[in-house]
Structure 1
């Protein structure tokens, strides 16, 4: 089951469970669509691509709560682009 992390790892923008602009990679690294664009759609952690994060149905939130763990690791864009 997806964690549905609450914020963008780069800019710390809030990404609630129903955020339309939340993107994840295969390891569930979570970024907003603006940051994914800046990253040229390459995850700075694993090098994989991004997909739109699914929206967990509101009626399942009590049984399957979303994560409250904030992962905030601003990207060093210069280093990221050297890896591309």
Structure 2
């Protein structure tokens, strides 16, 4: 099952399961639309695969098949280092 990661692994922007601004590759690396398009030209900096729109899991399925809470952050040469941010129990920054 597709792991819906809660953030952009480049800039740490929150990407909730219903976000239309999440982009993924076939290895499920997850980026926001800004990093994917302007920084990486829609090519994953990790695996060099295409970054495409992440499907939205219907709300009716999220209870049984929840989104991931695991945040991934990687330093990419084209990106500033993300600043640490406080989080609640659902991986959402305040």
TM-score (norm 2): 0.79
Which structure dedicates a bigger proportion of its chain to helix? 1
Could you tell me which residue of structure 2 aligns to residue 31 of structure 1?
31
Could you tell me which residue of structure 2 aligns to residue 22 of structure 1?
22
Instruction: Indicate the RMSD between aligned Cα atoms, in angstroms.
Output: 1.2
How far off its partner does 1:41 sit?
A: 1.1
How far off its partner does 1:74 sit?
A: 2.7
Tell me whether 1:55 sits opposite 2:70 in the alignment. no
Structure 1: give runs of 5+ residues left out of the alignment: 79-84
Count of equivalent residues: 78
Could you tell me which residue of structure 1 aligns to residue 46 of structure 2?
45
Runs of 4+ in 1 over 3 A off after TM superposition: none
TM-score (norm 1): 0.88
